[in-house]
């Protein structure tokens, strides 16, 4: 088990280094950092001084390690457009994105898994067909279109919910939350549904497929042949086994929620990291782009590790080796 965790940690480190390399190359070689930081009137000498002070004349390998070292200490440089430290910008936007993403992920799981189980068990039922049809819409329709549709119906036509922003937020010192005010919660509803819908349909289809796969196995046939009650066969045996692969893929999917938030945040002008990143892409604000990339990669790696540990807890084949009993 320890070996397994160490191997996974090693893989995570490799992924992080690869992403860091990419971020560094972007940071250093896409556009000239000095040109971005100074005005037109700056003289060549001043530029050269700045270049020297920033260490841009050092060997690239040294610059890379300095970049990584700084990144570990949350120093991602200064944003070109805002002239403020990138880490502060990201930190101020992080709560908005995380609240949106986590609420959406919970929505997708809590609704998606039961729908998938039902559709997998009652393949011919009319409700399953409706679920499948709706899930197709969820997959085929672009997220931004769903967002626009929701805004049009619930904000423009009905006027029930706000169409943009986060509403009133409460500053807890280390975290600004929108979950404590009515306007904050009302503002969250439409973006959260928009962001959750795609994940929800994916999870539903995945759970359904896994359920159908497991229901075909010999051990389910054998469980039925022993006369076990349908409830025990479907939930005690089938669901439990179906959820093992679902954990991995769902974990990965939930990670991508944070990245998909870029679209949702744009549609709803949600003041999160995604919106910041998009503005950075449009204005070629490289420090923010590379910092966002690193941050997303780090969150992914973290989620992956969590998923692996969960997998471990669920599947005895990983937990206990064959020789375990001897």
Partner 1 sequence: MAKPPLLSVQDLVVEFPTRRGTLTAVDRVSFDLAEGEILGVVGESGAGKSLTGSAIIGLLEPPGRIAEGSVHLEGQRIDNLSGEAMRHIRGDKIGMIFQDPLTSLNPLLTIGQQLTETIRTHRPISQSKARARALDLLNEVGIPAPERRIDHYPHQLSGGMRQRIVISLALAAEPRLVIADEPTTALDVSIQAQITSLLKRLCREHGTAVILITHDMGVIAETAERVAVMYAGRVVEIGPVRDVVKAARHPYTKGLMGAIPKVGDSLDRLTQIRGSMPRLTNIPTGCAFNPRCSEVFDRCRAAPRPELVTAGTTRAACWLYAQEREETANG
Partner 2 sequence: MTDIAPSNAPQGAPSGTKGWWARFKDSDVYYSFRRSWLAQVSAVVTLIFLIMAVFAPILAPFNPYDLAQISLMDSLIPPVWVEGGETRFLLGTDDQGRDILSTIMYGARISIFVGLASVIFAGTLGVSLGLLSGYLGGAIDAFIMRLADIQLTFPAILIALLIDGIASALIGGSESAMVSYVVLTLSIGLASWVQFARTVRGSTLVEKNKEYVQAARIIGRHPLAIMIRHVLPNVMGPVLVIATINLALAIILEATLSFLGVGVPVTEPSLGTLIRVGNDFLFSGEWWITFFPGLALAVLALAVNLLGDWLRDALNPRLR
Stretch binding partner 2 (CB under 8 A), from 81-89, 101-109, 221-229, 258-266? 258-266
Distance in angstroms (rounded) separating the CA atoms of residues 82 and 99: 24
Comparison of 200 and 223: residue with beta carbon closer to partner 1? 223
Closest CB 126 distance from partner 1, rounded Å: 18
Q: How many CB atoms lie within 10 A of CB 163?
A: 19
Q: Can you list the alpha helix ranges (DSSP code H) found in the chain?
A: 2-29, 33-37, 44-53, 60-72, 86-121, 126-140, 143-150, 182-215, 218-225, 230-231, 240-267, 273-282, 286-314, 316-319
In the complex with partner 2, the residue whose CB is nearer, 27 or 64, is 27
176 phi, psi to nearest 5 deg: -105, 125
Query: In this chain, which stretch among 140-148, 226-234, 276-284, 294-302 interacts with partner 1, using CB under 8 A?
Result: 226-234
Minimum Å gap between C-beta 274 and partner 2 is 9
SS3 176: strand
Q: Could you say whether residue 182 binds partner 1 (CB under 8 A)?
A: no
Rounded to whole angstroms, how far apart are CA atoms 50 and 285? 19
From candidates 1, 156, 229, 302, binder to partner 1 by CB under 8 A: 229
Residue 165 binds partner 2 (CB under 8 A): no
Name every residue whose Cβ is closer than 8 Å to that of residue 281 and which is 6 or more positions away in sequence. Answer: 289
For residues 304 and 252, is the Cβ–Cβ distance under 8 A? yes
Residue closer to partner 2 by CB (options 201, 241) is: 201
- Non-local CB neighbours of 182 within 8 Å, separated by 6+ positions: 167
Contact (CB, 8 A) for 189 and 161: yes
Minimum CB separation from partner 1 for residue 314, in Å? 7
* 262 binds, options partner 1, partner 2, none, Cβ within 5 to 8 A by partner type: partner 2
Minimum distance from residue 321 beta carbon to partner 2 (Å): 26
Instruction: Pick what 240 binds: partner 2, partner 1, none; C-beta below 5 to 8 Å, kind-dependent.
Output: partner 1
Which residue's CB is nearer to partner 2, number 145 or number 320? 145
44: contact with partner 2 by CB under 8 A: no
Q: Is 217 in the site for partner 1 (CB under 8 A)?
A: yes
Which spans of this chain sit near partner 1 (rule: CB under 8 A)? Answer: 217-219, 221-230, 232, 236-237, 240-241, 244, 314-317, 320, 322, 324-325
């Amino acid at each position: 088990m320890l070996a397994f965790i160490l191997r996974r940690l090693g893989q995570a480190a490799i992924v992080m280094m690869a992403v860091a390399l990419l971020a560094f190359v972007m940071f250093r070689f896409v556009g000239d950092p000095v040109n971005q930081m100074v005005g037109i009137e700056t003289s060549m000498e001043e530029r050269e001084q700045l270049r020297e002070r920033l260490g841009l004349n050092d060997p690239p390998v040294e610059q890379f390690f300095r970049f990584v070292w700084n990144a570990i200490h949350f120093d991602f440089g200064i944003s070109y457009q805002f002239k403020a430290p990138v880490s502060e910008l990201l930190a101020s936007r992080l709560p908005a994105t995380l609240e949106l993403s986590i609420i959406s992920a919970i929505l997708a799981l809590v609704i998606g898994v039961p729908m998938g189980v039902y559709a997998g068990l009652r393949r011919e039922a009319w409700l399953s067909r409706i679920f499948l049809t709706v899930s197709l819409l969820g997959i085929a329709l672009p997220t931004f279109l769903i967002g626009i549709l929701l805004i049009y119906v619930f904000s423009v036509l009905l006027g029930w919910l706000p169409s943009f922003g986060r509403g009133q937020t409460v500053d807890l010192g280390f975290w600004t939350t929108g979950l404590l005010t009515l306007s904050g919660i009302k503002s969250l509803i439409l973006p959260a549904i928009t962001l959750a819908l795609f994940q929800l349909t994916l999870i539903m289809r995945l759970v359904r497929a896994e359920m159908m796969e497991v229901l075909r196995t010999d051990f389910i046939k054998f469980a039925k042949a022993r006369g076990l009650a349908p409830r025990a066969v479907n939930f005690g045996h089938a669901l439990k086994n179906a959820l093992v692969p679902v954990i991995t893929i769902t974990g990965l999917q939930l990670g991508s929620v944070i990245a998909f938030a870029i679209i949702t945040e744009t549609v709803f002008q949600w003041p999160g990291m995604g919106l910041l990143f998009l503005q950075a892409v449009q204005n070629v604000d490289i420090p923010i782009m590379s910092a966002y990339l690193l941050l997303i990669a780090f969150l992914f790696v973290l989620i992956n590790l969590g998923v692996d540990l969960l997998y471990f807890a669920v599947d005895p084949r990983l937990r206990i080796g064959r020789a375990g009993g001897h």
